Amino acid sequence: MDFGLDLYNTTRTLEKKQIDEILSLSEITQQYNINLTPEKAKYIVDSNKSALHDTGRIEFGESVAKKITLKFCSSPFVSKYNIEKVVEKLLEVFYYTKNETKDSISDDRLIDLMKIAFDGDCKGSVTLLFDWIITKIIHEYNFSGLKEDEETSHIEKIGENNEE
C-alpha cells in the first residue's frame, strides 16, 4: 500500500474542506459587498497554514481563519479588494498573541478585542493593531494577572491609558 498517496489525498481533502468552510461565509460576506471566490478562500486557507507553521501551532476544532473572516468582513476597513490580505495579517497577529499570552485568552475573546481595536483606534491598520494594541494586551494578560472573565473591556482600558 502506498501511504504517501493516502497522505496526499487526506491533505487535499482537508484543504478542500477548509476552503469550503470559508466559501460557506459567502452569503454573509456578500451583505458587505465582499465576494469570496475560491481563489480568495484558498489564499486565506494557505495563509492560515503558514501562520500556524510560523508560530509552531496546530489547530483543532473550528477554523480561526473562518472566525476572523466572518468577524472582520463587516469592518469598514475591509473590502472585496483586500479581504484575503487583511485576514492573512490578522491570522499572524492572532497566533502570535495566542503564543505570547500562553493561551490565557480565548480565541473568541481575542478576535473580539482585535476587531474593536481594528475598527476603532487602529482605523484599519494591522500594523497599529500589532504594534500598539496587541502589545498592550499581551502585557496586561502576562503581567497584570488579567482574567478572561473580567467585565471591563481591556481595549477600552488601553485606550484610556493612551490618552494620558
Count of domains observed in the chain: 1
What are the pLDDT digits (tens) for 123-143?
999 999 999 888 888 888 777
Can you say how many angstroms the Cα of residue 131 is from the centroid of all Cα atoms in its chain? 16
Percent of the chain with pLDDT over 70: 80
> Residue 2: exposed, middle, or buried by beta-carbon count in 10 A (0-12, 13-18, 19+)?
exposed
Q: Is the pLDDT of residue 47 over 80?
A: yes
Q: pLDDT band at residue 152, thresholds of 50, 70 and 90?
A: very low
Q: What is the pTM of this model?
A: 0.82
Q: Of 160, 148, 155, 157, which Cα lies nearest the Cα of 133?
A: 155
Separate counts of helices (H) and strands (E) for the chain: 9, 0
- At residue 161, the pLDDT reads 43
Backbone angles phi, psi at 77, to 5 degrees: -100, 5
Q: Which long-range contacts (CB under 8 A, 24 or more apart) does 132-135 make?
A: 132/162, 133/158, 134/93, 134/96, 134/97
- At residue 162, the pLDDT reads 41
Domain span including residue 71: 3-163
What are the pLDDT digits (tens) for 88-109?
999 999 999 999 999 988 999 9
